[in-house]
Amino acid sequence: MTSQPPVLSLLIQQQEHLEVLLLLLKQELNAISSRDITALEENSAVKLQQLEQIQLLDLQIAGHPQLLQLKTEPSLLSQVHSIDSVLLLCKEQNEINRLTLEQSQLKIERFKHELLQQRGKSGLTYNAKGKPALDSVGKGIKA
């Protein structure tokens, strides 16, 4: 029979991983803002590793024999509240990143639309998905 680490040490590890995740999310926002694709890719790989570790710890905590003590013992309860607050910060930062990314994509679409308009004012049309496109058929073809 293998002995399991105390649930408190698992909780501390969980909080450490969440704090690293929060830092990664803040770095991700900087990479999104600066449109640094390389940094985003590297950040995503590290973020995925952290998420896997968090998920693994979740499973270990959920199956731990001291699980019921998390709701009764004050020191464990305090640690759980601390973890919950860091998790909430991670969720908020993730939402900020999502909104920033959406805004960035909208700006790129607007810029693309303006370029298309300047490039072919008379040939500007829309595709089936409602996205602007140039109509290359028309001028120069005679029946």
Average pLDDT, the chain: 86
- pLDDT number for residue 93: 97
Res 138: pLDDT = 54
Main-chain phi, psi angles of 139, to 5 degrees: -65, 140
At residue 23, does pLDDT exceed 60?
yes
**64-121 pLDDT tens trace:** 988 888 888 888 899 999 999 999 999 999 999 999 999 988 888 887 777 777 766 5
Instruction: Tell me which of 45 and 128 has the higher pLDDT.
Output: 45
Instruction: Give the pLDDT score at 1.
Output: 39
DSSP secondary structure string, 54-113?
HHHHHHHHHT-TTGGGGGT-HHHHHHHHHHHHHHHHHHHHHHHHHHHHHHHHHHHHHHHH
